[in-house]
Amino acid sequence: MIEIKDIYKTFGDNEVLKGISAIFKPGKNNLIIGGSGSGKTTLLKCIVGLHDPTKGDVIFDGENFTDMDFEQRVPIRTRIGMLFQNSALFDSMTVEENIMFPLNLFTKQTKAEKLDRANFCLERVNLTGKNKLYPAELSGGMKKRVGIARAISMQPKYLFVDEPNSGLDPKTSILIDELINELTEEYSITTVVVTHDMNSVMGIGDHILFLHQGKKWWEGSNKEIAHTDNQELNDFVFASKFMQAAKAKL
Amino acid sequence: MFHSLGKYILLLRLSFRRPEKFSVYWAEVMREMVSVGVGSLGIIAIISVFIGAVATIQTAFQLVSDFIPKTIVGGITRDSTILEFSPTISALVLAGRVGSSMASQIGTMRVTEQIDALEIMGVNAPGYLISPKIIAGVTMIPLLVIVSVILGLCGGYIACAASNDVSTADYVTGLTDGFNPVIVTVCAVKAIFFGFIITSICSYQGFYTDGGSLEVGQSATRGVVWSCIMILFVDLIISRLLL
Ligand SMILES: Nc1ncnc2c1ncn2[C@@H]1O[C@H](COP(=O)(O)OP(=O)(O)O)[C@@H](O)[C@H]1O
Ligand SMILES: [Mg+2]
């Protein structure tokens, strides 16, 4: 479980986050949605410690992450998996080396064990046998899947995903969503996904935070979102004619 | 300016924190050493021969007098090659070859979030990325300078053989006459400092890249320019202090 308490983040005199609190439960897909520039990525980076919040606390299973220094954070960090918007694979390493990288640094496993784990992770994301390819040789969707494989190699308790669907075709996009959903349920991971893809929201949104003007504007599940009378949320979710038509049928 | 200096020193301190695992870092050090050392051997060999040859020809040209023994040409070539030409010109060339590639490599990792990915995993990113480069720099660049000195002196020999101003016998005698070992120390000290300057400044510029591919290019340029300025500045200081 991750708890965030009253998070503020200011860049210069640009106040991006203005007091956001929430609880993210294990085994659930927690979604952060909001318009472009609403501070979704900033919130995610504050949670994982890539940004220090100007004010507020992030608590991982009772441990206050914000107060810790670099070394104290390492044990929690090794339990965090993250999939970046552009996958952020290490491009000097092969697929297999990418996945084995955290194992090399943080475990005492033998080479064979690490290779087993890498193969298992690759199988899990449907990329069996792609071990020796370099990131430059992969398509966008494959990169995302390798990114997921790397994120789960250390058996994370927490999984963070920034815009998993950007730059993917709708079909691949749904496959990635399903994969994230399966992993979350199977290993009871606390998953936080930043997205503005409405298919994901409707498909896997167990718990949704809607950010607007730096605040938590609305919170609920994908079942509730269709019946909301919150004006800004309605404008955001049902912006397209297609979504309006879909809503009319509900 | 002072702000940048502070950030640079802080980054260096972070770089030399205890590694998560020595074997992984060691592999990186080896990879960087090969890349710096073997990768730059060709260019260093070529420029050194030319520099040595030119230094000899110029010295011979300036000393056209029957009262000065021809052997002095060898001595002057030796001193200027070891003291200044080999370490300094090699360092300037290496700033362009090694430094710019380090800055753009780290800068690319920054803008594509690979550095964020390292930090998320709990890896000390400056340590993993920068310390192997600095270690490779302060070990391999002095070795390259030694190669450069040897080839520079060979270049002088070739210049003597190809013309009849100075005989090769006079040149070789001159090389050994009145040799003061302190110049070798100065040369080594310079090379070690230059290796540190190139790798640390270029890594710093790359690490704090902000933006996209355009900024990566700018970081590399800034890294090279600052390295060159600092190389010449430190060159002056060391020459002043040690000679
Ligand atoms: N490193 C940064 N420095 C300064 N401003 C930033 C930085 N990162 C984000 N911002 C600002 O914060 C706001 C929110 O950005 P972001 O979190 O990336 O939005 P989103 O991911 O929701 O599209 C934007 O106005 C952006 O300009
Ligand atoms: Mg974003």
Residues A60 and A100 reside in one and the same domain = no
Tokens of B157: 């020999």
Do A116 and A101 share a structural domain? yes
The DSSP 8-state label assigned to residue B43 in this structure reads H
Ligand 1 pocket check for A34: Cβ under 6 Å: yes
Lowest mean pLDDT among A122-126, A182-186, A194-198, B214-218: A194-198
Same domain, yes or no: A137 and A245: no
Q: CATH no. for residue A48?
A: 3.40.50.300
Q: Provide the pairing of β-strand A207-212 with A29-34.
A: parallel
Q: Indicate the pairing of strand A29-34 with strand A190-194.
A: parallel
- Residues from chain A that touch B124, judged by Cβ atoms under 8 A, are 70
A72 with A145, same domain?
no
pLDDT tens, position by position, B30-70: 999 999 999 999 999 999 999 999 999 999 998 878 788 88
Nearest to A176 by CA among A152, A156, A200, A201: A200
- In whole angstroms, give the CA distance from residue B198 to residue B175: 31
Whole-complex ipTM: 0.91
**CB-based contact (8 Å) between B112 and chain A?**
yes
In a shared domain, residues A171 and A244: yes
Does the distance separating the beta carbons of B120 and A89 come in below 8 Å?
no
pLDDT of residue B39: 92
Strands A29-34 and A2-11: unpaired
CA distance B25 to B19: 7
> Do both A144 and A231 map to the same domain?
no
A37 and A57 fall within a common domain: yes
Which phi and psi angles does A108 have, rounded to 5°?
-105, 20
Of all protein residues, the one whose alpha carbon is nearest to atom 21 of ligand 1 is: A41
| Predicted TM-score (pTM) of this structure | 0.92
B162 touches chain A (CB under 8 A): no
**Whether residue A163 sits in one domain with residue A145:** no
Q: Are residues A179 and A215 in the same domain?
A: yes
Mark yes or no for CB contact B120/A74 under 8 Å: no
The tally of domains found in chain A comes to 2
User: What is the chain A residue with the closest CA to B116?
Assistant: A50
Both A149 and A163 in one domain: the answer is: no
Residue whose structure tokens are 């020809």: B57
Across the A/B interface, how many CB contacts are shorter than 8 Å? Answer: 54
Task: Give CA–CA dist A92/A19, Å, rounded.
Answer: 40
Indicate which residue's Cα is closest to atom 7 of ligand 1: A11
- Helical residues (DSSP H) of chain B, grouped into ranges: 2-15, 22-62, 71-80, 90-94, 100-111, 114-121, 125-162, 168-176, 182-207, 213-242
Q: Please determine, for residue A172, whether its predicted confidence score (pLDDT) is greater than 70.
A: yes
Could you list the beta-strand ranges (E) of B151-203.
none
Least trusted range by pLDDT, from A118-122, A200-204, B90-94: A200-204
Give the residue, by CA position, lying nearest to ligand 1 atom 6.
A11
The domain containing residue A92 runs over which residues? Answer: 88-155
